[in-house]
Every structure is written in structure tokens, then in C-alpha cells.
Amino acid sequence: MRVSRDTHSIEDERITLIRRMARENPTWGRRRIQAELRFLGFEVAELTVAKYMRRLSPRPSSTWRTFLDVHIGEIVAVDFFVVPTLTFRLLFEFLILRHHRREFVHVNVTDHPTAAWTAHQLVESFPEETVPKYLLRDRDAIYGDEFVRRVKGLGMSEILIAPRGALAESLRSAPVRFDPTRVPESRPRPRRKPPAPHPGPLLPPGTRPGLEH
């Protein structure tokens, strides 16, 4: 039985789409990818989708771990989060996280994020003497040419990761450090004073309680 070249090309296209969807959308399972393929006109079995999905190991590679150990204090991560409002508007929250301390350096919100606005947030967050050496971010299109130029102008090197969230990657791979000086002291709760007894009804002078005139 001979298989035409068109059949081979269709199969290659399906495999490429499966791997691309799995790579760019790490939270998608095989059923979601199967549904997306059906929407594009491809009927693919669920087991076939699972066969060609290439999931990366959740554990950091040794090279990445070594890099973190050497430059742990010189990395910040930036990311956007979408915040819906009660009036059905979408706000974009921009955050900058210091990698080794897991603390937020800068937070701001806008309804129209641009590369210029994002670069301005970065400049405001780091004066010249406090600029970190490395910037961890994903490949979102919001980080345009102007943002890249501003990052280079600050003397920072960009570390690009897969589109799964720079802050999530930073929190996942950064070591956990316990600082006992930042734990609030426990204080005993103050006891409530019992309410004062009610004085009762006022009686005319010279009368005793329980006696009628």
C-alpha cells in the first residue's frame, strides 16, 4: 500500500501543531489540544495527542541551577497579570520581583500597556546604582523593541523563558529562605472587661426597692 506525499504532509502538520500547542500552552492537557485541533479542522485521537506532546521536565536543568547559584542576587523577574474589574474592564498589572528575596520591587496598573510604559516602570524602579545584572521575562509581545533598547541601555541582560510566566518561574526556582527577624511577634489577646451591672430604675428619695407607696 502506497501512501501519498499529501498524507505525510498532513500528518507532519498535525504533529507540529500538537507540539507547538503543548510548548506554548503548558497548562493545556491532551483533551484541550484535541479540541483546538478539531476547531482547526483536524480530527486527531486523544491518544495520538498524548503520544506527540513533549512535556518538559518540571525540574530545573543543572545548567539553570548552576546559573542561579552564581547569580542569585543579580536577577529580577517581570510579568503582567490581567485583572478584571466589576465594570467588565480589563486592567494589566505589572510586577517586578527580586529573585533571591522573593519580594516585590515595583507594582503598577494600566489599562493600555505598551513597550514604552513598561520600560518606564523599569527605569523608575532601579536607580543607576541599584540596577540588577539580569532580567527574567517571557516572550510576550508587549516587550517590544523600545523595551529591549531600554533594558540594554540600563546595562541589563535579558533571560527569555517559555511563555508560562516569569514570576512563576522565579518563585519556583528560587531557593526558600527563612528569616526569623521578619516573623511578627505573637502577642496575647487583651481580655475584655465584663460589662458594668445595670443600675436599675431610678426610685424617689426615701423609698426602698420592692416597696410600693
In order, the DSSP letters of 39-103 are HTT----HHHHHHH--PPPSSPPHHHHHHHHHHGGGEEEEEEEEEE-TTS-EEEEEEEEETTTTE
Query: CB-based contacts of 209: which residues, under 8 Å, 6+ apart?
Result: 200, 203
* CA–CA separation, 149 and 123 (whole Å): 12
Cell 511577634, residue located: 185
Backbone φ, ψ for residue 197 (5° rounding): -65, 145
Q: What are the beta bridge partners of residue 49?
A: none
pTM above 0.75, yes or no: no
Predicted local distance difference test score (pLDDT) of residue 160: 85
H-helix or E-strand spanning residue 136: strand 134-137
* CA–CA separation, 138 and 164 (whole Å): 7
Domain 62-173 CATH superfamily: Ribonuclease H-like superfamily/Ribonuclease H (3.30.420.10)
Residue 202 Cα distances to 77, 195, 210, angstroms: 72, 20, 12
Residue among 206, 61, 73, 78 nearest 130 (CA) = 73
pLDDT in tens, 19-40: 888 887 776 778 888 888 888 8
Q: Name the percent of the chain lying above pLDDT 70.
A: 66
pLDDT in tens, 103-156: 888 999 999 999 999 999 999 998 877 899 999 988 888 888 999 999 999 999
Ranges for all domains in the chain classified under CATH 3.30.420.10: 62-173
* CA–CA separation, 93 and 81 (whole Å): 5
